[in-house]
Structure formats: structure tokens, C-alpha cells
Amino acid sequence: MDKILISFILIAGLLSSNPPKEKTNPFANITVCHQEPDGMARFALDPRFIALHPSPELINFTPTGDMIEFETPDGNKAKAYFLPANNPDSKDWLFVYQEWWGLNDQIKQQAEKFHQDLGEQINVIALDMYDGKVTTNPQEAGQFMRSVEESRLESIVIGAKNFAGTEARIANVGWCFGGGWSLKSALLIGDQNIGSVMYYGMPVQDIERLKSLNSDVLGLFATEEYISKEIIETFAENMENAGKDLTYKIFPAAHGFANPSNPRHDKEATAEAYAMAMDYLKKKFKG
């Protein structure tokens, strides 16, 4: 009995001299990006969403444009792939927004296609929204999209608008992450915006924000779970309530169907969607 008592006293003494450490929060050092509620970032790390994005295949691409640099309002600089109009006095601009992979060769190639098919009469600029980060890894792409600060993205857009000039007439086009930013860009650019083409991007649903749009919107969506038919129909209803026009089609194709480097690329849907985009953009710039 005495041995048991002595053992108890020794253990109690050890515990009092070495109190247990406070539990620490394992997430305390993680910076959470405050994306808007209807942004794609909220499911960027969802394995099922990531599975919609198989690693892109390599493409043959020889650039004819130039990488440029411009100032941004946050005191930094941003880069972009730039294809100037043949007419140096042209005030027409097309802002091109990348998928979640970053500003890769496929987006540059797509910018060149728009530039050529618009008769090289439009200044086309593909913005580097990740400040140089590019990947072919779906998990890493999700991390990029999740961690980028909304304020930095907005600063890049405004910096590009300032680079284009106060007289610029700006249309926007983007895919996936960039599809959402095509619409956000249209909102940020204000009365200089003349149009927005969204390829399977998450739409802004705030009616009060949508009321400030200076143009209609063309939506080219896929058949999928995340940017679903219900979300798109809600967007259409909100656009109507905001007094804005939306033309859209939900293609019977997978997310990312218009990307030629996507193993799930759908040539037929791509051709139809591109024809709709070109018809829309030609009318905007002609007007």
C-alpha cells in the first residue's frame, strides 16, 4: 500500500512540474483566401471537381505575340501575352482569361486565333492572372485557384484596363476560372465594357452587381454537376431581374470541352461554341 501511495505522489509531482502543452490549431498558419460566395474557389480542392480536369496534352505552338508588363494599382506589375491590332490607333480590345492551369500555350494560341479571325483589327491581350505560375497538374491548379487573392486579380484587371487606355472599348472572353473572370472583368471595367463571353465559368449571382453591367453576356456552358443547369438558370433569372440580357447554351459536353489540349475535347461542340462567340464579338466591335 505504501509503495502504491509513493508511486502516486511521484506521478502527481511529475505532472505538476511538466503541465501538458496547450493544443495548437493545425490550421492557424494557413491563409484563407476570401473569395466571393459564388466563386469557383470554394470547390477548387474537391476531388470530384479536380477529376473534371485531366492534365492537358502538349500542343505545338509558335508564338507570334509578345509577353509584356504593365503597372497594377496595388503597386506591383503584371504580365500578359499581347497581340496588337494592325491599326495602332485601334481602340478595340479583347481581354482573354486563362483556365485554372495558368497562362499556358493553349491560351496564347487561342488568343492568336481570336486575333486572326477578328481580322487583326483588335488588340488582344491574354492576362497572366497567376503572376507566372503555370501547371499541368490538376491538384496544383486547384491550389493556385484557391490561394490567389481576389484583390490581386482585380488589380490585374484594372491595370490592364489602364494599359488599354480610357478610350478603349473592351470585350472579355475566358474559360473555366477565366469564364468567371470574363464576367467579373466586365463588371470591373464599367462603361468601357462592351461584352462578355463566358465558357463554363461560375457566374456572379448578385443582382445589384449585375445591374452595373454595361453589356449583355454570352454564356457557353457544359453539362456538369458544379456549374449546373440549376446554377445557370438562376443566373439567367438574376440577369433578367437586373435588367440585363443573357444568351446561353448548355452543350451536351464535358467541362473544358472547348480546350483542344483537353483529352475530353469535343470538336463539334467547340466549333459551334466558337462560331457563337465570334458572331457575338464581331457584332460588339462593329457596333
Q: Tens digit of pLDDT for each residue in 218-227?
A: 999 999 999 9
- Give percent above pLDDT 90 in the chain: 84
Question: Distance between CA 25 and CA 133 in Å, rounded?
Answer: 30
* The residue type at 82: F
Q: Determine the average pLDDT of the residues in 263-274.
A: 98
Is domain 36-286 annotated with CATH 3.40.50.1820? Answer: yes
Which of 16-20, 22-26, 102-106, 137-141 is the least confident region?
22-26
Question: Looking at residue 224, what is its pLDDT?
Answer: 95
Question: Looking at residue 39, what is its pLDDT?
Answer: 72
Question: Distance between CA 75 and CA 10 in Å, rounded?
Answer: 62
pLDDT of residue 123 exceeding 80: yes
Question: Distance between CA 116 and CA 122 in Å, rounded?
Answer: 9
Beta-carbon count within 10 A of 20 CB = 6
Tell me if 37 sits within 8 A of 203, measured CB to CB.
Answer: no
| Helices and strands per DSSP (H, E), number in the chain | 9, 8
Question: Distance between CA 90 and CA 97 in Å, rounded?
Answer: 21
Q: What is the pTM of this model?
A: 0.87
Confidence of residue 287 (pLDDT cuts 50, 70, 90): confident
Mean pLDDT for the chain?
89
Question: The C-alpha cell of 220 is what?
Answer: 457557353
Q: Determine the average pLDDT of the residues in 72-88.
A: 98
Q: Determine the average pLDDT of the residues in 112-138.
A: 98
DSSP 204: P
Question: Looking at residue 22, what is its pLDDT?
Answer: 37
Q: Tens digit of pLDDT for each residue in 13-58?
A: 433 444 433 333 322 332 233 344 447 888 888 999 999 999 999 9
Question: Looking at residue 240, what is its pLDDT?
Answer: 98
Q: Tens digit of pLDDT for each residue in 143-181?
A: 999 999 999 999 999 999 999 999 999 999 999 999 999
Question: Distance between CA 51 and CA 171 in Å, rounded?
Answer: 31
Question: Looking at residue 232, what is its pLDDT?
Answer: 98
